[in-house]
Amino acid sequence: DIQMTQSPSSLSASVGDRVTITCRASQSIGSYLNWYQQKPGKAPKLLIYAASSLQGGVPSRFSGSESGTDFTLTISSLQPEDFATYYCQQSYSTPLTFGGGTKVEIK
């Protein structure tokens, strides 16, 4: 199985901050990396697919990038509605695997 290691597991930030979350794959996965946002009691929501493509309807303050087996989700200016848990997921091979999650909390 491909292991996805996310960091940090949690962070505290203020509205307007730039936030960066990293996900590292245990082997090469090309650009087969997706990012999801999950709020308490809700299903995850797709933000970014194929490492850097913005899902329709997702604000442009969210962006994704890649460098080898390292992937980054960036929120350029954190908004109140962005406080949530974020997960990466590889879709390169089955079993599809998720990172452990990053909880973004209010400072």
Contact residues: other proteins, CB under 8 A: 1, 32, 34, 36, 42-46, 49-50, 53, 55, 87, 89, 91, 94-101
Give the residue with the Cβ less far from other proteins, 41 or 68: 41
Helices (H) and strands (E) in the chain, counts: 0, 11
Q: In angstroms, what is the minimal distance from the CB of 87 to other proteins?
A: 6
Give the residue with the Cβ less far from other proteins, 45 or 61: 45
- Cα–Cα nearest to 73, from 14, 12, 24: 24
Give the residue with the Cβ less far from other proteins, 33 or 75: 33
Q: In angstroms, what is the minimal distance from the CB of 21 to other proteins?
A: 14
- Does residue 72 contact residue 66 with C-beta atoms inside 8 Å? yes
